[in-house]
Amino acid sequence: MPPLSFAALSVVTKEALSTPPGYAYDSHVAVSPATNEIFCCWCTKIGDVPEVVWRQGIPGEFSEPVAITDVDGRRSWNPSLAAGPDGRVHFAHMDQKIDGLQKEIYVKAWSDGSWGSETLLSLDDGWTGWDPDVAVYPDGRPAVCWFDHRFRVQHEILLRVGDGNGNWGPDVRMTKDDFWQYFPDIAIDSDSVVHLSYVDAREQLGDEDVDHYGVGKNLETYYRTWNGTSLSPEVRITWTPLRSVASQIAVDNARKAHLIWLDESAKGWWRLYYTRIESGQPCDPIPVSNTNKRADLSAVACLGSRTFMAYPEYDDPHSPSTGMSRLYVREVLPDGRLGTPLVLAVSGTNVHPRMAADPSRKMLWVIWMEYLGEDETFTTGDSNIWLSGIKVDEQA
């Protein structure tokens, strides 16, 4: 049954997984349902080159940080993690190892206590593959999607499905409108249906500017599914004259999809919105973040029938990206009511959360970056990577 009242949320653990000196960013978290171990990864420089490092374990007993990617002097970034029911943990990322310039998608899996060999998932064809996201089927098979530049000029979103043993099926083209699609996010439900959200630039047809993602552009969020054989029709989620971006998706135990995104109500002013998909169509959008604050990249996760969001808000909406921002976790009920936000961080620049549900512990795990530097592009300076565990008490 869908929940009728809010759960009680409480922070039971908070731990710094990476501390200065050094710039750590783009963190991700996954929980193994087979072992209950928590896997965390993020990007940081080794020498002068970004690589992806990881730690595994439980709070207070995590392994030492070790590189997942090959330390080869070639940039590795944009990581994604997902854990399967068989104990395998699947990892995807971008890398420039081919020639130091070309950007492609690589995958590997953790099994029996070690990382397996790496597989090039996109094509070594001179075109780029960007921004992978990985999810796992109920039977343990991994799926990875990304946006690829191989289709003439534009980007389209591709997906490939593996067997869990290093073998991968053919490309599935998830978008086909011959324009620009960006930043896919996928979730797989208990019926093995893939749910996809993404950003689309089709409203810019005829625009000669190559920066389709820039300030003042019109970007919209779309949604569709793939059942392993056929694609559902595309569903337009947003209708805005400016940018709707950074969509994230999760599915609950009733196979319903839940989406969040950032909407630009004015140039550079971002507000977080949420919707639920019912009978293939989005419900009315619900504003999550405060109307007089500025939100940033956020996360969504489902724990059984409950849906939660982790999101930052800048205290001063006109402050730079390095300004003071608080980090919250908040529940949304099926009737659209929003719970009281739980505060995870109140001082510093706390941004870019990711979240994983932990059904066996009845918990949520949120990982994020606390930026300590002064570079508004977030490319240099010191930072912390924090991991927090939130207990979800159904008896509230």
Question: Region 183-199: what's the mean pLDDT?
Answer: 97
Rounded mean pLDDT of 295-307? Answer: 97
> Could you give the CA distance from residue 178 to residue 201 in angstroms, rounded to a whole number?
10
Of the pLDDT bands very low, low, confident and very high (cuts 50, 70, 90), residue 126 is confident
Residue 396 clears pLDDT 60, i.e. is over it: no
pLDDT at 27 > cutoff 70: yes
Structure tokens at 376: 């508004």
- Residue 268 confidence (pLDDT) above 70: no
- Residue 75 pLDDT > 90, yes or no? yes
Distance, CA of 217 to CA of 209 (rounded, Å):
10
DSSP 246-269: EEEEEE-TT--EEEEEEEEEETTE
In Å, how far from its chain's centre is CA 174? 18
Is pLDDT of 341 > 90?
yes
- What is the CB-side half-sphere exposure of residue 203 using CA atoms within 13 A? 18
208: confidence class by pLDDT, cuts 50, 70, 90: low
C-alpha span between 242 and 363 (Å, rounded): 36
What is the per-residue burial (b if ≥16 Cβ within 10 Å, else e) of 302-327?
bbeebbbbbbbbbeebeeeebeebbb
The residue-averaged pLDDT of 324-350 equals 97
Given this model, what pLDDT does residue 54 score?
98
Question: For the segment 345-362, what is each residue's pLDDT rounded down to a tens digit?
Answer: 999 999 999 999 999 999
Asked whether the predicted pLDDT for residue 3 surpasses 80, the reply is yes
Q: Calculate the average pLDDT of the chain.
A: 94
- The residue among 55, 116, 124, 62 whose CA lies nearest residue 90 is 116
pLDDT value for 202: 87
Mean pLDDT of 224-239: 97
Question: What is the pLDDT, as a whole number, of residue 78?
Answer: 97
Output the DSSP codes for 63-124.
PPPEESS--SSS-EEEEEEEE-TTS-EEEEEEE-TTTSS--EEEEEEEETTEE---EE-S--
Distance CA 302, CA 189 (A): 11
Query: Which residue segments constitute the domains of the chain, with CATH numbers given?
Result: 23-138 (2.120.10.10)
Q: What is the mean pLDDT of residues 23-41?
A: 97
User: How buried is residue 281: exposed, middle or buried, by Cβ count under 10 Å (0-12/13-18/19+)?
Assistant: exposed
Nearest partner of 275 among 266, 265, 288, judged by Cα: 288
Q: What is the pLDDT of residue 224?
A: 98
